[in-house]
Amino acid sequence: MRLKDRVALITGASRGIGREIALTFAKEGAKLILVAKTMEPHPKLPGTLPEVAKEAQDLGAEVLVCQCDVRDEEAMIQTVKLGMERFGKIDILINNAGALWWRPVLETPTKRFDLIMSINVRASFVLTREILPSMIENGWGHIVNMSPKVELEKLSGFTAYFISKYGMTMLAQGIAGEMKGKNVAANALWPVTAIDTAAVRNYGVGSEEMWRKPSILADATLELVCKDPSEMTGQALTDEDVLKSAGVTDFSKYAVIEGTNPPPIDWIQEKVRS
């Protein structure tokens, strides 16, 4: 029960990585604020917020379900308010909700640009701003943004998408500096390989032998938030970085297809670019 009495807010919690993080945290004793849009079954997208909440409750977790479109600032503010009223604090924020768009500038309508900016970086900013006072007051907090190390050479071909994702990483690094001495950590976390999610499947990013299970990111996130916040902050980490630091060296169990060795996500991105 490594997260006993900790309260975690997780966005994009109805499926994929968010669901896996929620269930992993539930097993470790966390109280959960689960945030997503999907309350009713969708014909093309498996998973709903009530289903994940039930799974977490069956594991013994106390759960608050918050239907929320993270593009809506007032809805996010209300979600944080409800979480504070229910649990009295929020210790952990996982900015997981995301929009995928692997297209060059000439194939990016303004409407799509605005969508990925609002879901990826703007939502992370607003939720971080609203939750920080609780973390500061309690002298303990972890913010994890699902975003990569800033490498400008990777912008080409996916410019709008990486602007939004790098914005999340810069937010984590900026908050780490602002929270210095307050025992509140902010880090970015990113997979080495493509992860099997509805977005990856629907977008046609590679195939199953090229993917790992969401559990690798959930396990890495757990290891990160179980550290004292003063131990690691302002970093852009990979799932393998974090798990290796915890003594994990065999990642084969995370492959979607047993016996395969998924390539780095960079390799898949180069294939898409070409």
Asked if residue 203 has pLDDT above 90, the reply is: no
Averaged over 67-93, what is the pLDDT?
98
Average pLDDT value over all residues in the chain: 96
* Nearest Cα residue to 93 out of 111, 103, 80, 78: 80
Strands (E), the chain: 7-11, 31-36, 63-67, 92-95, 141-146, 184-190, 194-195, 211-212, 236-238
Inside any domain, residue 15: yes
* Statement: the pTM of the whole predicted model exceeds 0.95: yes
DSSP state letter for 43? S
Phi, psi (degrees; rounded to nearest 5) at 147? -155, 160
Inside any domain, residue 16: yes
Inside any domain, residue 249: yes
Inside any domain, residue 115: yes
Distance, CA of 183 to CA of 199 (rounded, Å): 34
Inside any domain, residue 2: no
Q: Which residues make Cβ contacts (< 8 Å) with residue 240, sequence separation at least 6?
A: 192, 220, 251
Inside any domain, residue 188: yes
pLDDT of residue 72: 98
Inside any domain, residue 98: yes
- How many domains does the chain contain in total? 1
The domain of 111 spans: 7-273
Q: Which of 161, 166, 203, 254 is catalytic?
A: 161
DSSP state letter for 117? I
Q: What is the pLDDT of residues 22-76, one digit of tens each?
A: 999 999 999 999 999 989 988 778 899 999 999 999 999 999 999 999 999 999 9
pLDDT of residue 44: 77
pLDDT of residue 241: 96
Q: Establish whether 161 is a catalytic residue.
A: yes
Inside any domain, residue 258: yes
CATH code for position 140: 3.40.50.720
pLDDT band at 199 (very low <50, low <70, confident <90, very high): confident
